[in-house]
Every structure is written in C-alpha cells, then in structure tokens.
Amino acid sequence: MEYVEIRGGKPLAGRVEIQGSKNAVLPMLAGCILHAGISRISHCPRIRDVFDTMELLEILGCQVWWEGDCLAVDASGVKSWQIPIQIASRMRSSILFLGALLGRMGRASLPYPGGCVLGARPVDMHLQAMEQMGARLEEKEGRIEAEAGALFGREITLRFPSVGATENVILAAVRGKGVTVIRNAAREPEIEELCRFFREKGADISCLTDGSIRILGGRELKDSRHELTADRIVAGTYLLAAAVTGGRVTLGRMPGQHMAAVLRILQQMGIYMEWQGADLRLDCRAKRKNIELLETEPYPGFPTDLQSPMMTLLAVTEGESRIRENIFDARFKTAAQLQKMGARIQVRGREARIQGVPRLKGSWVEAQELRGAAALFLAGLNADGITQIRNCQYIHRGYENICGNLRSLGADIRAVE
C-alpha cells in the first residue's frame, strides 16, 4: 500500500495555485443528470472524489470526458437509477444522487453513503425532505429505495443548516413542480455556487435576504459552462502548511472572500498577510500566539474541515489552546496520531486542550479520513526526522497533486509504493 514519507523541518517558500473546489463540484456533477444535454465545469480538480463521481455518472448512462481543466458531462443518455455499493461506499456525496435521480428518473436506489468516518452523519433530513416533496421511501437490505411520479414544491424547514440536505433539496426542486422554499438553509459558498450553476442552465433560483432559498421548479434547462471557484479548504490547508513550517508562501487564486474566519484567526496568531490582487502573500516567520478557544461553526464561522489541520498548528504554538468541535462528534481522531509525534493534546468530549511544544517528532502515523490526513501531512512538514503516513488514499479524495505542490514549495516529500 502506498504511504507518504516526509523529512520535516524545511520552511516552505514559493507560490502555489489553489485548485477548484471539491465541495462545490460534487453536487454540480450530480446536478448534471437533471439536464438531458451537455454541462461543462472548468477549473475542475483531478481528485479521487471527482474520478469516482465520473465513474458513477458513466454507470448511470452519461458520457464524461476532459477538455483540458474542463470536465464535460453529456447526460442525454441517462438510463439507470441504481447506484452500486462499490462506489457509494467510497464517497459521502453519493447521497446527492437521491434528489437528482428522483428529479430526472422519478426513481432512485442507493446504499447508505460512505466516505470519511467522522461520527454520526445521519441522512434523515435528506429523506424527510424528499418525502415532503412527494417521494415514497423505504429501506431494503441497507439500500434506500425511492420513487416519485412527480416531485412537488414545498416549504421545507431544516432543523440544522445541513449543507448536504440543502443541496439535495435544490437538486430535487429544480425539476419539481411549483415553488420550493428552503428555510434554515446552509449558507456555505458552495450552496450559492450550486445555485449559480443552475441559474446558468436556466433554472429559477434565488437566495432570499433571510437566508432562505427559493426554487421555481420545472424550467427547461440548457447546455452550460461553469467556472469553478477555488477550494477554500485547500487554500486554508496551504495557509496552515506555511504557518506550521514558518515559511513564506504566496497562494494564487485565493478565495479570500469566503475565508474571513480563517484569516482572522491566523492574523490573531501573528501571521503576516498581504494581498496582491487575487494572490495572498504570507510571512510566517514571527512567533505565533496561542488561541484561547477556537470553535467550529457553520459558515461563515470557522470550518470544521480545517479543524484537524489547525490542531497541528496549535500543537506547535507556545501556550495552551482549546478547540471545540460543534459539527462532527468524531473529528478528534487525528489527535491520537499527533500524540505519537509528541503533541500534547487532551480530548474530552467535543473539546481538545492543546499545550504547544517547540516541534513534533517524526513517526509512523495512519490517516483515518481526508482532513485528518492533511493534518498529518502538516505535522510531517514540521517534525524533526522522518514521518511516514499510511492510508494516504484519503488525501487524494480532496487534494490535487499535494505532494508535487509541496515539493515545489521546498518540502522533502515522496510517495512510496
């Protein structure tokens, strides 16, 4: 099995361009099947989750191909509504095909989704919303079986601003009949981008001043081309990589308008930032300050997807810091791996206390999920000696050419078979 070996201690320096957004493109790819024509998405990242979704689209009857950095999907030949477990087990976003398949085919059959193990991530909000819109659902042998002669617009209030549930309702409502209004909708940038993707295809979608989303279903969709925004979580990871190594890095195509909470925390820690057009230049050589309490929150708060990489930075920041995880109940799994590298972290329930050490120590560690893998890469960049990271297939789910990008910034890193 492949592992990644990092010889740490080198401050990063140079420039890296931020890839297109993973969390934005996956619901769009599910949404492509709603239009019996061609959809193009440029600046699309070549990551495992995208490749898995391409495979799924082809199983459903689509033709999928690359045109440079643009991914094209011709969904005119969609003929199946069944998602095989072999693919669904690899990706959480397979649940988004529930709304899309009901909208296109009137039927959907899919296993409960896989992906990263982050604790309880129930799909009951997705299922309840589909039932409200007229779908009939039942569970058979671990699969969700759904059928709807037609989907009808409803006012749907989510009990929590779930990104996935919001996206699934949008996907179902685009081909539904009448008006759907989503109350307490998620406000992440990826939601607005999904709405923009469908508006470019001719859908009638608007984001209301109270944060709700209104969809007038049934509009005829058309061929379109969408340019994907940069990935704010990948951008945050490279920010933290620069900080954890005391480096000087410039990030190109930086989605700063979507990262206010992250940038504010790093500035509080003493990291110098300077904007140069769409580029952000970082100088992380100054002594860092600890953070008394960092809490993850739905957007526009600090994103849970950067909590694990942030833990790595706080582990090598002098003084005591605390992290409170408010989104996922099992996102501190990486703490045990960081402890093997000398980090002083105590986890109690949803809170972690971190006493900073001068530097981590190289060790064998094991990734257990995507963002935890990124945290271990950052730990290896900081550590004294050699760090070897197993289960690196996780990081390829969301990061395009991360080893090559880090090498271009001066890191001593290599993938080993």
Which residues are catalytically annotated?
A: 116
Q: How far apart are CA 76 and CA 139, in angstroms?
A: 29
Burial of 178 (0-12, 13-18, 19+ CB in 10 A): middle
* DSSP 8-state class, residue 269: T
CB atoms within 10 A of CB 406: 26
End-to-end Cα spacing for the chain? 6
Give SS3 for 161.
Answer: coil
Q: How far apart are CA 335 and CA 317, in angstroms?
A: 15
- 213: nearest Cα among 155, 292, 262, 130: 155
CB 374 within 8 A of CB 309: yes
Give the tokens for residue 244.
């954890």
Give SS3 for 264.
Answer: helix
Give the tokens for residue 75.
């969904």
Q: How far apart are CA 74 and CA 96, in angstroms?
A: 18
Q: How far apart are CA 373 and CA 95, in angstroms?
A: 23
From the CA atom positions of the chain, what is the Rg in Å? 21
* DSSP 8-state class, residue 238: H
Q: How far apart are CA 50 and CA 141, in angstroms?
A: 28
